[in-house]
Amino acid sequence: LVQYSILTSVVLKLHYWVFFLTTLLIFQAEIDVAVQLLLKLKTDYKHLTGQDYKAGCPPPENVVNQDNGAATDGIDEEDNVDPWNVSTSNAKGVDYDKLIVRFGSSKIETELVDRIEKVTGQKPHRFLRRGIFFSHRDMHQVLDAYEKNKSFYLYTGRGPSSEAMHVGHLIPFIFTKWLQDVFDIPLVIQLTDDEKYLWKDLAIEECHRFAVENAKDIIACGFDVNKTFIFSDFDYMGSSPEFYRNVVKIQKHVTYNQVKGIFGFTDSDCIGKISFPAIQAAPSFSNSFPQIFGGRKDVQCLIPCAIDQDPYFRMTRDVAPRIGYPKPALLHSSFFPALQGAQTKMSASDANSSIFLTDTPKQIKNKINKHAFSGGKDTIEEHRKFGGNPDVDVSFMYLTFFLDDDEQLEKIKQDYSSGALLTGELKKILIETLQPMIAQHQERRKQVTEETVKQFMTPRPLNFKL
Ligand code: TRP
């Protein structure tokens, strides 16, 4: 009898737990469905009103596209995007539409691309035509002002973590050069050698040397020396009282709690990291460069950058009105995929994950043939029968970045999808696109002398009218 009652009790407990766990599992599945639904509703809401959905806030009457903070986090667990890490479990790469919702920015719609074409009278750059720059903040306002003859300036940058730059690093610079040309405006480029010193195991001198070396590759993109100021933080910060004053102003108006929330700093991060975001924010304000803007603090800034830099500028846009400055506008690019696939961005520390600006034609050929992740089928027969998948094929992705001819690109896509074009043939097209492009870059870089670098990096007036 005793044993029987113990058994009954065990069985009862078992029933109870099975029931409990099953309920829990069903509940979990429901949560997942609800989260998906919520995400979709938020995207729809944003699409309709141009604004982020904020719980407990009815839609405003005048639905204009305006600023917003980061949307509720934690919805998407598979994509990880911040200034130091980018990863996703999806072979097509990061889900950028979700990122727009999460970061609270706006999608670059065809309408905006058409407007840029109308305002500049130039065919939009392929990065715009193909959605490589896919997200923005306040670009319509910049164009409204530009149409009323109120000009603006460009600000972009690079963290010089090594001497070696790869093709992915050129994306923001190629695009910024185009913007400078079509809008005819001044540009400042920040080389954050201080940032790299704080984050990496490098000496100050090394970081500074990388800044100067990287400046040569940047100059080789063709920037106009009369309209461009390139600066190393180590050099410029200490020489410009106005710049440093802005840094401290920003530091006074952002709390530790805020940067902790935005960047995920912890108690064991050094205080240099915690205060660094103010240094990346400062060039967004025109009076940080009195030699260029003559002390004016109201010149609008536009920042082209990869989307992982957005946290810095969310913070910047948040403090701007509180210290009496206009908020910088932004254009965000997607990431350039590693040769091994779009799950991560390229790493300068893995020689086989990227095409470097110093690679020889032979290295380019070998790397692409050996390492470029293919969306093709395993055998030629299967490939001919079922076709390849350009959406996960890295060679095809690279062509969308660098092959300018839209019709040719579309034909390649169709032929690859139908199986008419084989992986080897696709790779050959990419190799023949990149080899001359890199060779020309190397040729232009060779022309950049120490004297040229010094010219670009000397604080001086620039030539433009506002
Ligand atoms: N933090 C950036 C990097 O590590 C460098 C940077 C500074 C930057 N200012 C910028 C990038 C403005 C884009 C726009 O690469």
pLDDT tens track for 122-174: 999 999 999 999 999 999 999 999 999 999 999 999 999 999 999 999 999 99
* 155 Cα to the center of ligand 1, angstroms: 9
| Mean pLDDT within 344-373 | 89
What pLDDT score was predicted for residue 361?
Answer: 98
Nearest of 158, 160, 154 to residue 178 by alpha carbon: 154
Work out the pLDDT band at 57, boundaries 50, 70, 90: very low
β-pairing, 337-338 with 341-345? antiparallel
What pLDDT score was predicted for residue 91?
Answer: 81
Q: Which residues line ligand 1 (CB under 6 A)?
A: 155-159, 190, 192, 195, 280, 303, 305, 309
461: left (phi > 0), else alpha (psi -120 to 50), else beta? beta
The yes-or-no verdict on residue 67 having pLDDT over 80 is: no
Query: To test ligand 1's pocket by mutation, which of 280, 314, 315, 317 has the most ligand atoms within 8 angstroms of CB?
Result: 280
CA-to-CA dists, residue 451 to 5, 206, 425, 457, angstroms: 93, 20, 43, 10
Q: For 121-191, where are the alpha helices, taking DSSP H only?
A: 126-129, 139-147, 167-183
| Mean pLDDT within 262-278 | 97
382-426 pLDDT tens trace: 999 999 999 999 999 999 999 999 999 999 999 999 999 999 999
Q: The whole model's pTM is what?
A: 0.84
Say if residues 411 and 396 touch (Cβ distance below 8 Å). no
Which residue has 């709690």 as its token pair? 257
Mean of the per-residue pLDDT values for the chain?
89
Tell the residue nearest (CA) to atom 11 of ligand 1: 157
Give the other-Cβ count within 10 Å of 106's Cβ: 25
CA–CA dist 210, 231 (Å, integer): 12
| Mean pLDDT within 56-72 | 38
Say if residues 53 and 41 touch (Cβ distance below 8 Å). yes
288-328 pLDDT tens trace: 999 999 999 999 999 999 999 999 999 999 999 999 999 99
What pLDDT score was predicted for residue 5?
Answer: 77
